[in-house]
């Protein structure tokens, strides 16, 4: 995990990123447990100081086993060698996606090895963890095979309901289908075991593996933020991508969001990856605490209140239904009021100040927000997955990319 920040106003954009990377356990019963952290991971890059464009990475640190640092350095050389300039910032992001598709291919044996050890293994670990969570919530005498089959079937239904976002080349699809038929059964046995895998569940797992690559479902993505200015952009722009897999010159990716500063939207603070402390700073309350408060209210209104009314007031069924309907309306109204109060009292005052900040002050704010995330982990019992040197840069139309 990491914390990265982009702060934008009409003067420019400040970027900040920590430098810790984490190796996460893929053991089924040790979900997201950090096995090892490494300092001094480079997560922020520039094309050159003359180009007003910066790139940040988070999530999976590699694409097909190739570190993002290597890929982005190659991309920068490509831009400079050909003197590419683009009118819009988004075109730099599009060019990077094309560059990935055109320049990084693996031999067939390497491709199958990658799928075996990385992509489909991560998919099966994700499914197995859902099954394990379900196991823990059930009675001891529950049929474990039945639970396994039900969870796999539900996962398949979820995959079927998703939109297609990726179309591999014919040769790429043949490699995927061959892997699913020849290699996936052994991988299922290695990750999950064979005690609970019925024939039907095994076939469903094969179908999931064959379909998930096509669907709007990222298995182990790396994410990229491209930020700055195109030649015709008056104000800064930041575009976020999620990138999952490269198969025979076809890249599976999704453009997540594009953030633009304009005359109407004059400032924004964007956290990427672990943004919990940034959200707390901006909203005045920890999001997990807010969600738990809403959960308790929901339990009180829809579980305990009806029970008490039924026990003590002897209300007819129609009255209890009316109370439940009013409770829904009350909860929705409460949520709206909380959101409106948070925006007026906390978010808007900060953004009203950010829109006037100098580039230097934006850089200091970005650094401070990353440091706040790192400090919170250092003084709590959480794994220190944010920390190390905090790298900061500012980007403006006139001065390009400048390290701070």
| Secondary structure letter of residue 382 according to DSSP | S
Taking the alpha carbons of 207, 209, 213, 216 in that order, is the dihedral positive or negative?
positive
The DSSP line for 224-276 is: EEEEE--TT-SS-EEEEEEEEEEETTEEEEEEEEEEE--SSS-EEEEEEES-H
pLDDT tens track for 242-261: 999 888 778 999 999 999 99
The token pair that represents 277 in the structure block: 């402390």
- Of 284, 301, 379, 393, the C-alpha closest to 48 is 393
| Mean pLDDT for the chain overall | 86
CA gap 396, 404 in Å, rounded: 13
The DSSP line for 134-193 is: HHHHS-TTS-HHHHHHHHHHHHHHHHHHSPB-----HHHHHHHHHHHHHTHHHHHHHHT-
- Of 281, 248, 271, the C-alpha closest to 114 is 248
Answer whether 5's CB lies under 8 Å from 269's CB: yes
Ramachandran category for residue 59: left, alpha or beta (phi over 0 → left; psi -120 to 50 → alpha): left
CATH topology of domain 3-105+220-275+359-403: 3.60.20
What does pTM read for this prediction?
A: 0.87
- pLDDT reported for residue 317: 72
| Helix or strand (DSSP H, E) at 6 | strand 3-9
pLDDT in tens, the chain (404 residues): 789 999 999 999 999 999 988 876 665 545 555 567 778 889 999 998 889 999 999 998 888 888 999 999 999 999 999 999 999 999 999 999 999 988 877 666 666 666 667 788 888 888 888 777 777 666 555 677 777 888 889 989 999 999 999 988 887 788 888 888 888 888 888 888 777 788 888 899 999 988 998 999 998 899 999 999 999 999 999 999 999 988 877 899 999 999 999 999 999 999 999 999 999 999 998 888 888 888 887 777 666 777 776 667 776 777 767 777 777 777 888 888 989 999 999 999 999 999 999 999 999 999 999 999 999 999 988 888 899 999 999 999 999 999 99
- pLDDT reported for residue 26: 61
CA gap 341, 336 in Å, rounded: 9
- Taking CA 55 as the corner, what is the angle to CA 375 and CA 265, rounded to the nearest 5 degrees? 80
């Amino acid at each position: 995990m990491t914390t990265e920040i982009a702060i934008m106003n009409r003067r420019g954009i400040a970027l900040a990123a920590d430098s810790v990377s984490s190796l996460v356990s893929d053991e089924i019963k040790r979900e997201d447990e950090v096995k090892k952290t490494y300092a001094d991971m480079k997560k922020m890059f520039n094309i050159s100081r003359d180009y007003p464009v910066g790139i940040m990475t988070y999530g999976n640190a590699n694409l097909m086993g190739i570190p993002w640092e290597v890929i982005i350095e190659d991309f920068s050389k490509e831009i400079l060698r050909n003197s590419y300039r683009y009118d819009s910032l988004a075109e730099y992001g599009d060019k990077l996606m094309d560059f990935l598709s055109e320049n990084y291919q693996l031999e067939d044996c390497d491709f199958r090895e990658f799928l075996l050890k990385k992509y489909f293994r991560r998919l099966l670990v994700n499914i197995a963890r859902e099954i394990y969570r379900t196991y823990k919530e059930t009675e001891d005498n529950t049929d474990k095979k039945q639970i396994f089959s039900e969870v796999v079937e539900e996962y398949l239904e979820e995959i079927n309901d998703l939109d297609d976002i990726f179309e591999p080349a014919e040769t790429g699809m043949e490699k995927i289908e061959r892997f699913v038929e020849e290699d996936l059964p052994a991988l299922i046995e290695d990750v999950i075991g064979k005690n609970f895998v019925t024939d039907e569940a095994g076939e469903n797992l094969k179908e999931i593996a064959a379909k998930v690559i096509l669907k709007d479902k990222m298995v182990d993505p790396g994410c990229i933020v491209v930020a700055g200015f195109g030649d015709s952009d008056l104000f800064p722009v930041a575009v976020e991508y999620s990138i999952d897999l490269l198969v025979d010159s076809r890249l599976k990716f999704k453009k997540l969001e594009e953030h633009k500063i304009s005359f109407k939207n004059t400032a924004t603070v964007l956290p990427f990856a672990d943004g919990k402390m940034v959200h707390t700073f901006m909203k005045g309350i920890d999001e997990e605490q807010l969600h738990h408060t809403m959960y308790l209210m929901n339990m009180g209104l829809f579980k305990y209140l009806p029970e008490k009314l039924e026990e003590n007031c002897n209300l007819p069924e129609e009255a209890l239904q009316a109370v439940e309907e009013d409770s829904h309306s009350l909860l929705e109204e409460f949520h709206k009021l909380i959101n409106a109060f948070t925006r007026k009292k906390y978010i808007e005052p900060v953004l009203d100040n950010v829109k006037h900040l100098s580039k230097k002050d934006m850089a200091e704010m970005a650094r401070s927000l990353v440091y706040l995330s790192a400090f919170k982990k250092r003084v709590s019992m959480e794994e220190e997955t944010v920390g190390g040197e905090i790298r900061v840069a500012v980007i403006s139309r006139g001065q390009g990319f400048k390290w701070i």
